[in-house]
Amino acid sequence: MTTSGFSTAGVIAVGSELLTPHRIDTNSLFVTARLNDLGIDVRIKMVVGDDRAELTETFRHVLPLVDLVVLTGGLGPTDDDVTRDAVAVALDLTLEEDEAIVERIRARFARRGLEMPDINRRQAQVPRGAVVLDNPNGTAPGLWLEHADRVVLLLPGPPRELQPMFEGVARDRIEPRVGTHRLYRRVLKVTGRTESHVEEAAQPVYSKWLANRPAITTTILAAPGQIELHLVTGGDNAGEAEARLDKAVEELVAVLRPHVYSVDGRSLEQVVGDLLRARGLRVATAESCTGGVVASRLTDVPGSSDYVDAGAVTYSNRSKVDILGVPEALIQEHGAVSEPVAIAMARGIRTRTAADVTVGITGIAGPGGGSDAKPVGTVAVAIIGPDGAVASHTWRLPGDRQQVKFQASQATLDLIRRTLTK
């Protein structure tokens, strides 16, 4: 433990079902987010089945490494609910029945006109010295245990029980132990570069910040079409920490420009929407391979009626000709997936709407339909800007059908962003 109080935690999610493909441990995500809000860094996270010996060992292993251990689940009344036992064994504490808990559980059953089964008495077993945390939404109470300079927190597994207990009682107990230390974070969002390109450009900057004291740690989260850089720093002074992050963000933007589209949490469609609104412009889309994903993403943003004018999904050649007026000869000459056709689509929607900015998108999402010249993932996008300037690009996007559609929408939205920020 640091002099400023708690700074590290471990989370152990207990439940054999969490080791199957059928249930995901979401409790640790919730607990981690809340602990981070309090400035506590989660260093270790584990999932353990309902096995007393394995849980005892795991808990013994984690306890010396962190200031706070949070265990979730395994507090039920049945034989396979082993968390209380394992913690008591590991800390060498005896379990004692707490009559007040028995009464509370009995009353819960009585409210539903039922008698309490005797096995529920197990839930009233409390390791000596533990503080009982009331669970308003279930029978399993939580437990707060202080052991030397460490704290162990046991919370029930069902998220609808755990979450209100964390907010209602656990947080108030943890907060005074934290001192003034908090975590501060920023997210940079990048598109149009691969993870290795981003890593190569950003690495010298963030390794410098990692070596500094106080350090800034950077995590790269890559997904098809977008890469996020998460910057985190800890500190006792919000102003100082924010200034440190501002400086790091500025340096990263300088090396990654113009691929960084957001440093304030906004999505690409929000950024594009804000640019359109600021300039009083309206957008219309003519989409083929993306099937309306671009229009859908633009309209995911509340208030997008301020700047979205229209969207057409013209999937067949016939509809490109009939609805957008793409010349049939152009399709014959260049193929439907080509920059000239994408430009004709953008022109077609422009003459048929009141939009100031229009895009045409045509491509091969796969898995079939590719050729040597135009493999699966080939996407042609055209944009006509507010001044009437035409630009077009062809991309070769990797991945399956869904990934190609998403990346094509990402590339298109980014093209709109770049056109409007030129």
Tell me the closest approach of the beta carbon of residue 101 to ligand ATP, in angstroms.
Answer: 13
**Does the CA dihedral 33-195-365-343 come out positive or negative?**
positive
Which of 15, 311 has the CB closer to ligand ATP? Answer: 15
- Name the strand (E) or helix (H) holding 181: none
Among 74, 127, 225, 360, binds ligand ATP (CB under 6 A): 74
Q: Does 159 bind ligand ATP (CB under 6 A)?
A: yes
* Nearer residue to ligand ATP within complex by CB, 84 or 259: 84
C-alpha 261/C-alpha 418 separation (Å) is 9
The residue written with tokens 């985190």 in the block is: 232
Nearer to ligand ATP, 35 or 293 (CB): 35
Residue 9 Cβ, how far from ligand ATP at the closest point, in Å? 15
Minimum CB–partner distance for residue 142 and ligand ATP (Å): 9
One residue of 95, 109, 121, 158 binding ligand ATP per CB under 6 A? 158
Of 94-102, 150-158, 259-267, 300-308, the window that binds ligand ATP (rule: CB under 6 A) is 150-158
- Which region among 154-162, 345-353, 358-366, 403-411 touches ligand ATP (by CB under 6 A)? 154-162
136 forms part of the interface with ligand ATP (CB under 6 A): no
Residue 7's nearest CA partner among 33, 51, 39 is 39
Our CB check for ligand ATP shows the closer of 73 and 273 to be 73
* Torsion (CA) 120, 123, 128, 131 in degrees, nearest 10: -130
70 makes contact with ligand ATP (CB under 6 A): no
Q: State the nearest-atom distance from the C-beta of 325 to ligand ATP, in Å.
A: 54
The site map against ligand ATP for 83-102 (x = CB under 6 A) is --------------------
Taking Cα atoms as reference points, which of 313, 312, 331, 308 lies closest to residue 321?
331
Separation between Cα atoms, residue 15 and residue 76, nearest integer Å: 11
| Residue nearest ligand ATP by beta-carbon distance | 157
HSE-CB of 157 using CA atoms within 13 angstroms: 23
What is the C-alpha to C-alpha distance for residues 292 and 279, in angstroms, rounded to an integer? 24
For residue 169, what are its two tokens?
């009682």
Asked whether position 152 contacts ligand ATP by CB under 6 A, the answer is no
Distance CA 105, CA 138 (A): 9
Q: What angle do CA 269, 206, 256 make, to 5 degrees?
A: 40
Residue among 13 and 415 whose Cβ is closer to ligand ATP: 13
Distance CA 47, CA 28 (A): 9
Does 142 bind ligand ATP (CB under 6 A)? Our answer is no
Tell which one of 41, 81, 339, 414 touches ligand ATP (CB under 6 A): 81
Nearer to ligand ATP, 108 or 185 (CB): 108
Q: Is 60 exposed, middle or buried (0-12, 13-18, 19+ CB in 10 A)?
A: middle
Q: How far is the CB of 141 from ligand ATP (least distance, A)?
A: 10
Question: 162 vs 408, which CB is nearer to ligand ATP?
Answer: 162
Q: Does 49 bind ligand ATP (CB under 6 A)?
A: no
Report the site for ligand ATP in 10-39 (rule: CB under 6 A). Answer: 13, 15, 17-18, 23, 25-27
Told to check if 313 binds ligand ATP by CB under 6 A, we report no
Number of residues in contact with ligand ATP, rule: CB under 6 A?
22
Bond prior to 398 in cis (omega within 30° of 0): no
Which residues fall within 8 angstroms of residue 140, CB to CB, at 6 or more apart?
75, 76, 77, 81, 123, 156, 161
Rg (CA), the chain: 28
Type of residue at 140 = A
SS3 421: helix
Beta partners for residue 71, in sequence order:
12, 154
141 binds ligand ATP (CB under 6 A): no
Q: Is 137 in the site for ligand ATP (CB under 6 A)?
A: no
In the complex, which residues of this chain contact ligand ATP (CB under 6 A)?
Answer: 13, 15, 17-18, 23, 25-27, 72-76, 81, 138-140, 156-159, 161
